Amino acid sequence: MTKADAWVDDMKSPEYNRFVTIPDPSKPPPWFDKQKMRHNDFAYRWLVEIRHNSDPPVPGAGSAIFFHIRRGVSRPSAGCTTMAEPDLVHLITWLRAGRHPYYVLLPQSEYDKKWQAWHLPPPASWKTEH
């Protein structure tokens, strides 16, 4: 992440929910200050985009959703999934595009109903493995 990087959250922008790098951070566009990535922030040392609302993005349906390092055990995020750094590094080493990974975030009761139809790991194995 550099001082020139941003994730566009402006619903009116054609770059909505996209990563962009501006040409000159010393002369940023007016929108940049509110949408720049947090440079030198430990929580973003490791960052994985969760492809939510991305193909194509629909304005207002959510943007800038990531896996990143958590700031504290009970500190919420604004929509991202956070975890301890070693767990995130483990996830990153496991992820491979060729495996076509999917991210499923459901309450346990919904997971219990859908895991078979969605071909997910059985609930009992998930609880014991992770």
> What confidence score (pLDDT) does residue 130 get?
46
Question: Which residues does the chain have with pLDDT short of 70?
Answer: 125-130
What is the per-residue pLDDT for 122?
86
pLDDT of residue 127: 53
| pLDDT per position as a tens digit, 63-88 | 999 999 999 988 998 889 999 999 99
Can you give the pTM of this predicted structure? 0.76
Q: What is the DSSP string of 66-98?
A: EEEE-SSTT---SS-EEE-HHHHHHHHHH--GG
Distance from chain centroid for Cα 40: 18
pLDDT in the model for residue 102: 80
